[in-house]
Structure 1
Amino acid sequence: MFQWRTVFLYAGECATARAASDAGTIMTLSTYANSSVEEVASTRSGIRFFQLYVHKDRNLVAQLVRRAERAGFKAIALTADTPRLGRREADIKNRFNLPPYLTLKNFEGLDLGKIDKTDDSGLASYAANQIDQSLSWKDVKWLQTITSLPILVKGVLTAEDTKLAIEAGAAGIIVSNHGARQLDYVPATIMALEEVVKAAQGKVPVFLDGGVRRGTDVFKALALGASGVFIGRPVVFALAVDGEAGVRKVLQMLHDELELTMALSGCRSLKEITRNHVVADWDHPRVLPRL
């Protein structure tokens, strides 16, 4: 069983891309994926975004962005909340390193393609050496000079940063706390969502990333103004259980649960989901059925 799970996760990005395409939804590929932008692009047609981590070597960043654009990716999700990697105690405890059969495929052929083993966390050491800690709003404008793709700023949690992102030319906002792995005590994304939506004033779409486990979570996000949601861990869990078929299953489950929640809340279309359908008790946001 372990060997099969290893195979599923090894082919994870391509399997996810195929499943997302079949579901008619978007797949976002990380800079640090184990499949390259070209490999993912060679799977079935579909909408793909590229999640960009800005490295110190800006020529390398420009190459990555242009490769993604040539491969047919439709947007760049700029990771704004990781100038340094957070203190991920599980990684430290487990001395996390990539197994030898996995590499960072977008850097294949470069010295950057492997995470060196350390006595601590190999990923943390890699990020500290490679990620540009000087990232600023000016870099949103810089990215616009090297690509025609829309830039979504990922990692926004406040109204102030929302306004700054829009001023810098962001085409969209992704409300994200990086899976709650960056900074302790940051709010859950669902708590920050409404503030960001209000600050955006409809100028750009706002998406929610993090904490989505059921279709009711999708419903609550839409009711609070999100244009859509991103999911991460459910896909990883599904890959570990049943590979590509598992991802198809989890996407279908979310779809069916959202559809059922809409029906029981009196919503015949997405446009009919409104703020009146949720109670913002942040200990437990509740859905209000409306007939």
Structure 2
Amino acid sequence: MTQLPFGREIQSRIYSAGVFGRTPSVPTHADSLERAGLKAMSPPARDYVQTGAGSGSTMDANRAAFDRHRIVPRMLRDVSRREQSISLLGSDFLSPLLTAPIGVAEMAHPDADLAVARGAKAAGVPMIISSQASVPMEQIAAELGDHPRWFQLYWSNQPSVVESFVRRAEAIGAGAIVVTLDTTVLGWRTLDLDRAYLPFARGLGIAQYTSDPAFQDLVEQRVNGGPGKQPDGRPTPAAVRSLLSITKHYPGEFRENLRSPYPRAAVQTFLEVFSRTDLTWDDLATLREMTDLPILVKGVQSVKDARLALEAGVDGIIVSNHGGRQVDGAIASLDALEAIVPVVDGHVPLLFDSGIRCGADVYKALALGASAVCIGRPYVYGLAIAGADGVREVLEHFRAELDLMMATTGVTSIAEIDSSMLA
């Protein structure tokens, strides 16, 4: 396995460029990265990325939990050789990092998920492809080449779409299916609500659906079933802009789409079939019958749910509160991780996301028992700033900082980062 540059080498690269007056195009400090990333986005995109549920208290809790845990460095240990690689679900990865599945990447950059794929591949970080991607999974997989990828599944209320997504994920060489459990309905996301902006209603972030044969069958049925309800009164400028957005993002030629009922029917169909609110743990058996791929569940916060996940036979659990976007006033993901670790007790890999902003956060999650960590908003900020290069730089910075954290705390492998390193 080829090892990417250590943190010191990344540092040297940055400092050497500084001699010639060049500073990093993507800031290394978490606050600066967030400010620059949000500044590079349109107002609707900025709100979509940064909003949490309700008052945002869950996002605050995520950060406070990291602040409560302090690292205790150890001295005079030989850290001249350090190794970040891990083994996960039978595959060897260069580091304990993956990209979290984030939808509607086109709001941050026109190259969207293709840029994420390029950046993740260049940084040596596996990509979890989103159901709400802006590009069909087949195109993303082509960009990734032989680089590892998983597929995140939002469980539609149409079984044919679920099975089709799984079959396509198998065909593109996905190493696992990640079922997101916490988004059977959208949380009360106040910034989006105040703007009255839902990207999916404008045709953004639904490329997995419009490229899917089972979904297209549903659209065909809708179109052939009649025109449906038409808007009342004269169209407003906002309605015209929405129609143009829907038309632009639908597969095919723009002028033909403008005259066609299919783009609008696709959006209406998506809004109806997106989620299944009566999903239960028993339904995971249906997914197991569909595929031999490892199945992970994402969004677990409760110790009781962790036990139910194990009873359902999942191959991995991702402890996550969706970055604070679903439930206001929820438990911090890091606190949930700490409680769930002894229940899982190493029976399956335990991954983590929500609130991760820097390499030190990754270190703390690993110390509390995470097998690997998913990076979310930070790489989206890098995407907005500099496209694929921005994604690569953010992920390289995470790897570099984690490596230097290992050196400065006296550990040489991921396995050595455990609870003894925390106060």
Question: Cα deviation per residue 1:20-57 (whole Å; 9 max; x = unaligned)?
Answer: 12222211111111011101111132111111111110
Task: Note closer, same or farther for the CA distance 1:28–1:242 as it changes in structure 2 (3 Å cut).
Answer: same
Give the Cα separation in 1 of the matches to 2:274 and 2:160.
Answer: 13
Partner of 1:107: 209
**Displacement over 2 Å in runs of 4+:** 5-8, 97-103, 109-112, 125-130
Question: Cα deviation per residue 1:7-27 (whole Å; 9 max; x = unaligned)?
Answer: 962322111112212222211
1:178 is aligned to 2:278 = no
Name which one, 1 or 2, has greater alpha-carbon Rg.
2
Question: Cα deviation per residue 1:205-261 (whole Å; 9 max; x = unaligned)?
Answer: 000111111100010011001001001101111110000000110011101111111
Name whichever of 234-243 and 12-21 sits farther off: 12-21
SS in 1 for 2:391: helix
Give the Cα separation in 2 of the matches to 1:138 and 1:226.
Answer: 26
- Specify which of 236, 239, 250 is matched with residue 394 of structure 2: 250
Task: Note closer, same or farther for the CA distance 1:107–1:126 as it changes in structure 2 (3 Å cut).
Answer: closer
Partner of 1:148: 292
Is contact 1:78-1:152 (8 Å) kept? yes
Partner of 1:62: 163
Give the Cα separation in 1 of the matches to 2:110 and 2:312.
Answer: 37
Matches within 5 A, 1:164-175: 164-175=308-319
Task: Note closer, same or farther for the CA distance 1:213–1:177 as it changes in structure 2 (3 Å cut).
Answer: same
Is contact 2:106-2:205 (8 Å) kept? no
Task: Note closer, same or farther for the CA distance 1:7–1:221 as it changes in structure 2 (3 Å cut).
Answer: closer
Is contact 1:79-1:155 (8 Å) kept? yes
Is contact 2:129-2:152 (8 Å) kept? yes
Partner of 2:199: 98
Partner of 1:284: none
Is contact 2:137-2:169 (8 Å) kept? yes
Identity %: 40
Give the Cα separation in 2 of the matches to 1:233 and 1:43.
Answer: 21
Q: Which runs of 5+ in 1 are unaligned?
A: 280-291
Matches within 5 A, 1:118-267: 130-267=274-411
Give the Cα separation in 1 of the matches to 2:399 and 2:115.
Answer: 19
RMSD: 2.8
Question: Cα deviation per residue 1:106-162 (whole Å; 9 max; x = unaligned)?
Answer: 1116377xxx999xxxx9x96565310011111211101011111100000121111
Partner of 1:43: 143
Question: Cα deviation per residue 1:65-102 (whole Å; 9 max; x = unaligned)?
Answer: 11011011111110111121111111111121339674
Question: Cα deviation per residue 1:141-187 (whole Å; 9 max; x = unaligned)?
Answer: 11010111111000001211111001101100000001101011112
Partner of 2:421: 277
Give the Cα separation in 1 of the matches to 2:124 and 2:408.
Answer: 24
SS in 2 for 1:9: coil
Partner of 1:85: 186
Task: Note closer, same or farther for the CA distance 1:265–1:96 as it changes in structure 2 (3 Å cut).
Answer: same
Task: Note closer, same or farther for the CA distance 1:2–1:31 as it changes in structure 2 (3 Å cut).
Answer: closer
Task: Note closer, same or farther for the CA distance 1:6–1:198 as it changes in structure 2 (3 Å cut).
Answer: closer
Q: Which runs of 5+ in 2 are unaligned?
A: 1-39, 43-104, 220-230, 232-237, 240-266
Is contact 2:133-2:206 (8 Å) kept? yes
Task: Note closer, same or farther for the CA distance 1:7–1:55 as it changes in structure 2 (3 Å cut).
Answer: closer
- Specify which of 105, 118, 134 is matched with residue 34 of structure 1: 134
Q: CA deviation at 1:104?
A: 1.2
Name whichever of 155-164 and 18-27 sits farther off: 18-27
Task: Note closer, same or farther for the CA distance 1:93–1:200 as it changes in structure 2 (3 Å cut).
Answer: same
SS in 1 for 2:199: coil
1:10 is aligned to 2:10 = no
Task: Note closer, same or farther for the CA distance 1:103–1:181 as it changes in structure 2 (3 Å cut).
Answer: closer
Is contact 1:8-1:242 (8 Å) kept? no
SS in 2 for 1:169: coil
Structure 2 length normalisation: TM-score? 0.60
Is contact 2:41-2:108 (8 Å) kept? no
Task: Note closer, same or farther for the CA distance 1:63–1:269 as it changes in structure 2 (3 Å cut).
Answer: same
Is contact 1:156-1:175 (8 Å) kept? yes
